[in-house]
Amino acid sequence: MLYDGGLSAMPRALEQAGDLLGVRDRAVRLARYAEGVLRDVDARVARVAPERRPRFYYARGPRGLETATRGAINVESIERLGARNVAGDRPGSPGTTAVSPEQILGWDPEVIVALDPAFVAQVATDPVWRDVKAVKDGRVHLVPQDPFPWVDFPPSVNRLIGLRWLGRVLYPDLFPEDLRQETRAFYTLFYHRTPDDRQLDTLLAGLERGRP
């Protein structure tokens, strides 16, 4: 069975999977967690004035020159936080696309959310990127990677903790909670593994600093 990978569909998908696997009680617990995250994030973002919603670029690949257009599932989490996708729309269905250095400079995003560690490691000195506002302001953030990236793929429960992380990246005053504690709780509940301090340091390294 193929489930809808959208964030809003996640609670129901968890319950359906639990019914199929004969673990209804656990599935309901996970679904309630998902509902709580989505409801809380939506309520906070609704209070953000339009002018406070940053213009973001989602960088994929080691050079950062692949992105996702508005409405693509790859950036659903970021767009749910109210951030404005500089890549905009494209003809046909939303999805990923290659972009040029000239487009990046023209868009001049305020925040860059990056999927590839190699890109983040060199972005500050790359002539294509070093004059972009997000890079100059130190707002380039590497998506936590383990066991799956918290943004983009797979479109599953990994994106729930990703919403909390993105909230802190985009609106630190609106999401002031201890993300280390939230991450521990999430990994314990969903993955049956409780990360230690060293593992949390690695996971959250891209949060507080935009450059390595």
| pLDDT per position as a tens digit, 110-122 | 999 999 999 999 9
Sort strands 66-68 and 96-98 into parallel, antiparallel or unpaired.
Answer: antiparallel
- Residue 56 confidence (pLDDT): 98
Quick: pLDDT tens for 155-210: 999 999 999 999 999 999 999 999 999 999 999 999 999 999 999 999 998 775 44
Q: What is the pLDDT of residues 9-34, one digit of tens each?
A: 999 999 999 999 999 999 999 999 99
Residue 38: predicted pLDDT: 98
**96, amino acid identity:** T
pLDDT digits (tens, 9 = 90+) for 96-139: 999 999 999 999 999 999 999 999 999 999 998 999 999 999 99
Per residue in 50-95, pLDDT tens? 999 999 999 999 999 999 999 999 999 999 999 999 998 776 668 8
pLDDT for res 106: 96
**What CA–CA distances, in Å, run from 101 to 74, 97, 105, 109, 131?**
21, 13, 6, 13, 11
Q: Where are the domains of the chain?
A: 52-212
Q: Is the pLDDT of residue 41 over 90?
A: yes
Query: What is the Cβ-side half-sphere exposure of residue 87, based on CA atoms within 13 angstroms?
Result: 31
Position 87 scores a pLDDT of: 95
* Topology of the domain covering 52-212: Rossmann fold (3.40.50)
Q: What is the pLDDT of residue 208?
A: 56
Query: What is the predicted pLDDT for the residue at 91?
Result: 63
Is the alpha carbon torsion for 203, 205, 208, 209 positive or negative? negative
d(CA 118, CA 184): 26
